[in-house]
Amino acid sequence: MTGHKIEVVILGTAQDGGIPHAGCSCSNCTAAHNNSKLRRNPVSCGIRGIDNSFHLIEVGRNIAKQLKIWSETMELEDIIIPKTVSITHIHLGHVDGLGQFGKEVMDLTDIPLYGSSSSINTLKRRGLISPFNCIKVKSKKSFEPSSDCGFQLEFIKVPHRDEESDTHAIIIHGVEKSLLFLPDHDDWSETLGYHGCETIREWFNQLEIDYAVIDGTFWDDNELQGRKMTEVPHPTISETIRRLGKRRDDDVKISFFHLNHTNPVINKYSKENTILTELGWKVSKDGEVFTL
């Protein structure tokens, strides 16, 4: 690993509940119970700055395991303690590990916690901010999470079930390249319309990114048996690849994460996974590294 570029490690690729999913006996969850290599953590990523500082985006329930993955990937003996934390929104799997930074577990104080104004206000109402120095971030305003880290974060607002707070994607601007971290949004038409774009390619070109790790919660609209898909809106992978078609040489490199435990692309031998990869797109993996 180099200390001269920004390194982003994907620490989780599952939807908020992780895989295996609590109380589920589906084939994906059963396989993950029986084989630890098939388990997936809720979405999160870790960033190492050029000054060897460490910065976390999203804090789910598997934070202990994720910090271990991060440390091993960075070839460190000691477990990483993040210097800063950022959150995209306040849905369960993105914030339910915040309490572990407090006196009951890590006993840390005054860690910068970056989030939108409404996210921070909601966390305060929930009593989840005691170990943190909360910093409210404005959309489309790039900032360094700590001095000399060598990269910038940029929050990008996206529409997504904003019952208690709004939702953002985050662009990580590195030394040479940039990555879009987009775990959740409701609908491509709504998101693209909000940003004045007609196509995914147009929006990604507008953002000037090289990589995009994006919402792939469901494969299609028939996935949740016994539940209304409209209650948990996400753009399906089927729709996304229909909009994109086959990858072009000059395209942003796209991979899908925030995968629900029902999603067939979790199985790399599934026909759905084959369709996706033959078009030139990827399914993200826990422990995957991007150099920026």
Contacts of 243 (CB under 8 A, 6+ apart): 188, 199, 200
The superfamily in CATH containing domain 7-291 is Ribonuclease Z/Hydroxyacylglutathione hydrolase-like (3.60.15.10)
For residue 127, the model assigns a pLDDT of 79
Predicted local confidence at residue 230, as pLDDT: 63
- Comparing CA positions, the residue from 163, 156, 100 lying closest to residue 131 is 100
Query: Tokens 């989840």 label which residue?
Result: 128
Q: Is the model's pLDDT at 225 over the cut of 50? A: yes
* Mean pLDDT, rounded, for 96-123: 92
Instruction: Return d(Cα 142, Cα 182) in angstroms, integer.
Output: 16
Q: What percent of the chain has pLDDT over 70?
A: 96
- In angstroms, the CA 230 to CA 140 distance is 29
Amino acid (one-letter) located at 85? V
pLDDT of residue 231: 65
The share of the chain scoring above pLDDT 90, in percent, equals 79
Give 91 or 144, the one with higher predicted confidence. Answer: 144
Q: What is the mean pLDDT of the chain?
A: 92
Q: What is the pLDDT of residue 131?
A: 85
Checking if the pLDDT of 165 tops 50, the result is: yes
Whether 267 has a pLDDT exceeding 60, the answer reads: yes
Determine the pLDDT at residue 1: 41
| pLDDT of 31 higher than 70 | yes
What is the structure's pLDDT at 159?
87
3-state secondary structure of 63: helix
pLDDT for position 222 = 81
Structure tokens at 250: 């000059």
What confidence category does residue 161 fall into, taking pLDDT thresholds of 50, 70 and 90?
confident
Considering the entire predicted model, what is its pTM? Answer: 0.94
